[in-house]
Amino acid sequence: MQIVSWVLSLAVIGIAAVVGYFVLATRRIAADAERMVPASGKFIAIDGNVVHYVEAGEGPPILFVHGLGGQLHHFRHTLFDELDGYRLVALDRPGSGYSKRAAQASGSLPEQARIIVAFIEKLGLKKPLLVGHSLGGAVALTVAIEHPEAISGIALLAPLTHMEGEVPPEFKGLYIRSPFKRWLMAHTLAVPAALKYAPQTLDFVFGPQKWPADYVIEGGGMVGLRPSHFYATATDTVAIEHDLARIEARYGGDKHAGRHPVRIGRSGARSYQAWIAHAGCNRRAGPGDS
């Protein structure tokens, strides 16, 4: 029995040592990420969430909502200098980037849509054009369906619009239904693994094009190497299955939903800069794509 006790003790010590190593590695990587890409905008409290955002310019408002695992630099770095004559606002969705998600929040699409609407009201944005990329496209669609009075139209960039039968292989590592397991992964294995496999991940995200050389810093890529960001991304991944099919069923057929201009951008179309500018100044245009 004494030998078994010693073996079990050594096993516990070994496991604790491994876990401790990954916890410290995660904290070091996260600290480096925050040093290299610090928060660069303002903060506003909304229903227990703290939203980080940046804005620039004057004129008709355009509000940008990033996708799964993204952050506001995806728009600030690539588009803000290219769009003149508009009030440009980009935010970190709650939990992503430097925004904080409320303790009991689920990350559901209706919940995120309500936060967007409250954000619009607090900043005094008068019926902005709402631009959504990827998962941000699903959030924008939810706003258009459930809060049509808040916006003038939506522009969708490679949006998530339909529920798939199963989680794509590339996203299965984010599909963690247990909040505790999500938290444990976020603070141990997820961040070191994300750093190790970053080149492969970026190849997948940007392919077939080569990912931009300045993406890691100027594009905010390093911000994703933080436990809170991984936890929020995994939470968003799980939440999709609870709402997207219901929202999808209301596309075009909900008599209670508003009617808004909808433009969908595809890869290989005109530059997003010119396309968004066109959508912003042509708010009475009918549905279509470019």
Residue 290 domain flag: no
pTM: 0.85
Q: Which of the two residues, 72 and 216, has the higher pLDDT score?
A: 72
Residue 9 domain flag: no
DSSP code of residue 211: P
Residue 67 domain flag: yes
Residue 17 domain flag: no
Please report the DSSP string for 65-134 in residue order. Answer: E--TT--THHHHHHHGGG--SSEEEEEPPTTSTT-B--TT----HHHHHHHHHHHHHHHT--SPEEEEET
- Which among 146, 117, 134 has a CA at the least distance from the CA of 250? 146
Terminal Cα-to-Cα distance of the chain (whole angstroms)? 73
CA distance 273 to 112: 26
CA distance 74 to 231: 19
Angle at 231 between CA 229 and CA 235, to 5 degrees: 115
CA distance 144 to 151: 7
CA distance 235 to 233: 5
Please say whether the beta carbons of 280 and 255 come within 8 A. no
Residue 10 domain flag: no
pLDDT at 252 over 50: yes
Please say whether the beta carbons of 99 and 51 come within 8 A. yes
Please say whether the beta carbons of 276 and 62 come within 8 A. yes
pLDDT band at 275 (very low <50, low <70, confident <90, very high): very low
Note the pLDDT tens digit of each residue in 2-11.
776 776 766 6
CATH number (domain holding residue 212): 3.40.50.1820
Report the domain count for the chain. 1
pLDDT band at 261 (very low <50, low <70, confident <90, very high): low
**Stretch among 15-19, 21-25, 113-117 having the lowest mean pLDDT:** 15-19
84 Cβ contact partners less than 8 Å away, ≥ 6 residues apart: 57
pLDDT at 66 over 90: yes
Q: Is it true that the peptide bond before 110 is cis, omega within 30 degrees of 0?
A: no
Residue 16 domain flag: no
Note the pLDDT tens digit of each residue in 150-184.
999 999 998 999 888 788 888 889 999 999 999 99
Domain that holds residue 111: 24-283
Q: Taking all residues of the chain, what is their mean pLDDT, rounded to a whole number?
A: 86
The percent of residues in the chain predicted with pLDDT above 70, rounded, is 84
pLDDT band at 283 (very low <50, low <70, confident <90, very high): very low
pLDDT band at 271 (very low <50, low <70, confident <90, very high): very low
CA distance 73 to 162: 26
pLDDT at 269 over 70: no
Residue 74 domain flag: yes
Residue 213 domain flag: yes
- Which among 222, 223, 230, 225 has a CA at the least distance from the CA of 183? 230
pLDDT at 137 over 60: yes
